Structure 1
Amino acid sequence: VRRSLGIHCLVDLVPPRTLPKTSSGKLSRSEARQGFLERAGWAEPEAVTEGADTV
C-alpha cells in the first residue's frame, strides 16, 4: 500500500473472537480503536494549527 499509494498503514493481528462487540453484536469500533492505541503505545495525534511548521 505504501509503495503503490504512498499511504502508511498498520496491521494489528488479534486473536480470533477478541474484538469488542456492542450489546446487539456489532463491532464496537470505538473500543477496538482504543484497544489498538493502548497496545501500540500511541496517543491521539495533536491537531496541527494553520501556519505551524511541519516536517
Structure 2
Amino acid sequence: MRLTDFFRNVAREMKKVSWPKRGELFRSTLTVIATVAFFAVFFAVLDLGISSLIRLILE
C-alpha cells in the first residue's frame, strides 16, 4: 500500500516538472562538456609543470 502510494506521488510530481527545451538542453550540455574539457587540460598542464619543477629541484 505504501509503495504504491509512493510511486503514485512520484508520477504526480513528475508531471509538475518543467523540463528543458531541446535547444536549452543542447546548450547546457555543450557548456558542461566545454567546462570539463577546459579543467582537464588546465589540471594536466598544471600537473606537468609541477612535476617538471619537482624533477628540476631533485636533480
Q: TM range, normalised to the smaller chain?
A: under 0.3
Relative contact order (alpha carbons < 8 A, sep ≥ 6): 1 or 2 greater?
A: 1
Q: TM-score, normalised by structure 2?
A: 0.26
Higher share of residues assigned helix: 2
What TM-score do you get using the length of structure 1 for normalisation?
Answer: 0.28
